[in-house]
Amino acid sequence: MSNTSPRRVRGSATPAAGVVTLEMVAQAAGVSPSTVSRILNGTARVSQVKQQAVDAAIQSLGFRPNPVARGLAGGRTLSIGVLTQTISSPFYGEALHGIEDRLDEAGYIPIFVSGHWQEAEERKALDALMARRVDGLIVLAGRLSNRALQAGAGNVPMVVVGRQMQGPRVHGLCFDNRAGAAMATQHLIDCGHARIAYIGGEPDHADAHERLAGYREALDRAGLPFDPALVTPGDYTEAGGLLAVNRLLDARLPFTAIFAANDQTAIGAALGLYRRNVRVPDDVSLVGFDDLAPARFAIPPLTTVRQPVYEMGFQAAAAMMALLRGETAQVSLPSLQLVPRESVRRLQR
């Protein structure tokens, strides 16, 4: 029999003082390490006596399993990679919050990395995540193609927010942007507006196209003409909205309302209107999209379409947990809702 006592001759990492290992728990409880492991993971049944002995040892020693070692041995790191675009974005920030809360419930931890809407960065971020051996991947929008994502993710399960994807270990989750935009436009039409301008989002974001489609759909349904001159691009930022509204005003076309592709755009537009002495809603009505905090406190408070973003993050994480259990994710997103406030005026006829 060779020597099996835990000699420490040479080693690498100096064990941090006060670190309690599973082996120490086993010794204290008078059982083998495997038994402790089994109890920790619920891998097999163990007798009541040992169960209690181990529990007691864990308590008294204050043992906490080392996730790093677990990751190496078990192949699970209990961490989920989250590829987001800008960690400081007011929109995605809420989603991250939801993800964090749901993962926490399950003992997982999110690892956030930003792609900044740039393919190269996204690819790099994805690599970093995979190198960290995350157990799953949640992707928030982005520019990477579905193929690139699939390839980059290897064989870990993936939840993608903002695009349609289905597969055995993949789940897509999105809001119905088209319906939301139609709802916003319809609201303006219901208030008597017929000349409605549209300030779009980033031209190469899918949701920007869907919102434009929703706008046209509502116009069509009401039998109103679609005037391309009333449509101008934005970039989902306040500055973009400001610029866009200036173009609209400079064109000297008549319009009584503006539907902006998101709240930030609408808020920028509102400032642009203010600068030109066009009053909201007296002269021009304004509707946004998202319902972030600034919309609620804008002057006047902004009518918008509410996207439950926190909930979206929460559900994305829930879907991931399902995928990890080998189930097919079956989560549903709450639908979008119009939030009427004070930036829209009912036209007299």
Partner DNA sequence: TTGTAGGCGTTATCAA
Partner DNA sequence: TTGATAACGCCTACAA
User: Could you tell me the smallest distance in angstroms from the CB atom of residue 141 to DNA?
Assistant: 31
User: Could you tell me the smallest distance in angstroms from the CB atom of residue 217 to a second copy?
Assistant: 30
> Is 61 near a second copy (CB under 8 A)?
no
> Is 270 near a second copy (CB under 8 A)?
yes
> Is 267 near a second copy (CB under 8 A)?
yes
> Is 306 near a second copy (CB under 8 A)?
no
> Is 167 near a second copy (CB under 8 A)?
no
User: Could you tell me the smallest distance in angstroms from the CB atom of residue 31 to DNA?
Assistant: 4
> Is 38 near DNA (CB under 7 A)?
yes
Pick the closest to residue 80 from 318, 330, 329 (CA basis).
Answer: 318
Choose the contact partner of 166 out of DNA, a second copy, none; CB within 5 to 8 A by kind: none
- Residue of 27, 65, 192, 239 that binds DNA (CB under 7 A): 65
Give whichever of 107 and 223 is closer to a second copy, judged by the CB atom.
107
> Is 334 near a second copy (CB under 8 A)?
no
> Is 97 near a second copy (CB under 8 A)?
yes
Q: Do 207 and 305 meet the contact criterion of CB atoms below 8 Å apart?
A: no
Q: Which residues sit at the interface with DNA, rule CB under 7 A?
A: 1, 4, 6-13, 15-16, 19, 21-23, 30-35, 37-38, 40-41, 43-47, 49-50, 63-66, 69-70, 72-75
